[in-house]
Amino acid sequence: MTDFEFRTTAIYQKAMGFHAQIQTIIQEKQPHRILQDQLIRASTSIVLNIAEGYGRFHKADKRNFYVNARGSLNEVVACLDILFHSEIPTVN
């Protein structure tokens, strides 16, 4: 067992992959800096909440962090909806 066992979990690895995809989308689409910042913060929050929840011993503590991660995921999806389905100008 390692001190950072959470890094081997499928959900953490998927969250890291999702965060990397968000970074790629940001580089390609170059959204307005406000939306870019929100996407980075929310996708980072997913990863961090999964990691922190994994380190908690009580189910209620774990659940709170996982619920926060899910909320951040919803936030990223809403940001992507704005990016791909609205007339928000991109930075050129």
| 53, 64 Cβ separation under 8 angstroms | yes
Res. 87 pLDDT band, cuts 50 70 90 = low
| 73, 21 Cβ separation under 8 angstroms | no
| 31, 90 Cβ separation under 8 angstroms | yes
* Cα gap 32→67, rounded to integer Å: 28
- The whole-number pLDDT of residue 11 equals 97
Per-residue pLDDT tens digits for 22-80: 999 999 999 999 999 999 999 999 999 999 999 999 999 999 999 999 999 999 999 99
- The whole-number pLDDT of residue 92 equals 53
pLDDT (mean) for 1-12: 88
CA dihedral for 38, 44, 50, 56, sign (positive or negative): negative
Res. 91 pLDDT band, cuts 50 70 90 = low
